[in-house]
Amino acid sequence: MEVVLAGAGHTHIEIIRQAEKFREMGHRLTIVSPLKHHPYSGMAPGMLGGTYSYDDILLPAYSLAEAGGAAFIQDAVAGINTRTSVIRLVHGGAISYDIASVNIGSDAAEDHVQGDHIFTVKPIERLFEAKTYISNLASSRSPFRVVVAGGGPAGVEVAGNVSHLITSLRNSGMPARGRVSLYASSSSSIGGYRGRAGAYILKTLKQMGVAVHQGERFTLSVHGKSDAADAVLLASGVRPAGVISTLGLPVGKTGSITVNKYLQVTGEQAVFAVGDCAEFSVGKTASLDRVGVYAVRQQQVLLHNLLMKVSGNSDQLIPFRKYGPYLSGLNLGGGIGLLQWKGFLLTGRKAFLIKDFIDRRFIRRYSVSEGLGGQDD
């Protein structure tokens, strides 16, 4: 059978790691992804702040596919015709499937705003471009201002890490005369937290020199015009990936692809959808938080169900049940973190080290011993 994975996100990366299983059973696994290496968002703020290099945070989708005997097509999915079982690719080609799965993530809410100095936090590659841009500003003697718009988890992580980046560049001898401002429209929460956790985030950001404007919005025109900032990082949330509306699959209340408890697209036996791009069609957990944690929790369910489908055991699919609470964490920059599990809060260096351990272990799980193969064009 032909099994096609659209996107190499947090769920599919595990299927790709297990590609050999499909080959051993006589099936062909093909991955369609615009990038040969998928940047891991959990470590992206740390990459921006200089704790990790860009290579450190890459999940080697192409190399894993190659090692497991799977085919890799560097392209993006434009449409899925479930009647003819054909996937249309952005660059013109098409590919047939017997079983398909979609894991294409979400887009930044403001990705329509344009400007050379404007960077959305998604796709994660943009944060690497932001780091290079801010490092260039730091090499000049002129003062500059970086604005982070959005006071959710990504916004506070980005603000703390940009501030740490500027401080590190200054310590290494660059003029780095930069200031960082964070605009958070909510005045009652920061970084998605209230109470003690929220107070800790505010205190830490202020100590790092970030000017926090709570209850204030930073607005840009669609052309990205603003005299007030030399670099703008837009972190005001994510929305379903724009391409979802053109895929031809059913979408739900949040604009994501609707799936049943087996992760099958509503009304389709042969197409699955997972991660940020999927929402459950029924139940109070219909739309889960758009966090990588859920995409990772779906890995084993998807793997099992794909293997059951290809071996003709459609009656043995297992449901996704891990809706429950998850350990949430922030890297605030400079080796400072925050972890929260239900009511328990851990802050400071220890919290950072635990998050760092979890993130590095995740990356290590997908490392290919002979190194990253294939360059992204």
Chain residues that interact with ligand FAD, rule: CB under 6 A: 6-11, 32-35, 38, 41-42, 44-45, 76-77, 103-105, 121-122, 154, 157, 241, 243, 275-277, 290-293, 295, 329
Give min distance, CB of 284 to ligand FAD, in A: 20
- Specify the residue, 93 or 143, whose C-beta has the smaller distance to ligand FAD: 93
Q: Rounded CA gap, 176 and 245, in Å?
A: 43
Tell me how far apart the alpha carbons of residues 77 and 243 are, in angstroms, rounded to a whole number: 8
CB of 141 to ligand FAD, least distance (A): 30
The residues, ordered by sequence, that sit 6+ positions from 173 with a Cβ below 8 Å of its Cβ are none
How would DSSP label each residue in 284-305?
TTSS--S-HHHHHHTHHHHHHH
- In the complex with ligand FAD, which residue's Cβ is closer, 140 or 300? 300
Given the complex with ligand FAD, which of 291 and 345 has the nearer CB atom? Answer: 291
Based on CB atoms, which residue is closest to ligand FAD, 125 or 174? 125
Taking the CA atoms of residue 275, residue 246, residue 78 and residue 39 in that order, the dihedral angle to the nearest 10 degrees is -30
To ligand FAD, the closest distance from the beta carbon of 219 in angstroms equals 20
Is residue 66 a contact partner of residue 373, using CB atoms and an 8 Å limit? yes
355 CB-near residues (< 8 Å, 6+ apart): 42, 329, 330, 331, 337, 339
Residue identified by tokens 């973190």 is 337
- Rounded to an integer, what distance in angstroms lies between the CA atom of residue 61 and that of residue 70? 10
CB of 355 to ligand FAD, least distance (A): 7
The region that residue 21 occupies, defined by phi over 0 for left and psi between -120 and 50 for alpha, beta otherwise, is alpha
CB of residue 227 vs ligand FAD: minimum separation in angstroms? 27
* Residue 139 or 249 with smaller CB distance to ligand FAD: 249
Cβ distance to ligand FAD smaller for residue 77 or 317: 77
User: CB of 93: closest distance to ligand FAD in angstroms?
Assistant: 13
CB 112 within 8 A of CB 18: no
Question: Closest approach of Cβ 175 to ligand FAD, in Å?
Answer: 27
The DSSP annotation for 77-93 comes to EEEEETTTTEEEETTS-
Give start and end residues of each alpha helix (H) in 139-227. 153-171, 195-207
Residue 187 vs 246, nearer CB to ligand FAD: 246
**DSSP 8-state symbol, 109:** T
Residue 6 or 265 with smaller CB distance to ligand FAD: 6
Least distance from C-beta 169 to ligand FAD, angstroms? 20
Q: How far is the CB of 373 from ligand FAD (least distance, A)?
A: 17
In angstroms, rounded to a whole number, what is the distance separating the alpha carbons of residues 238 and 236? 7
Residue closer to ligand FAD (CB basis): 311 or 357: 357
Residues 43, 56: contact at Cβ < 8 Å? yes
Residues 6+ away with beta carbon under 8 Å from 213: 181, 182, 183, 184
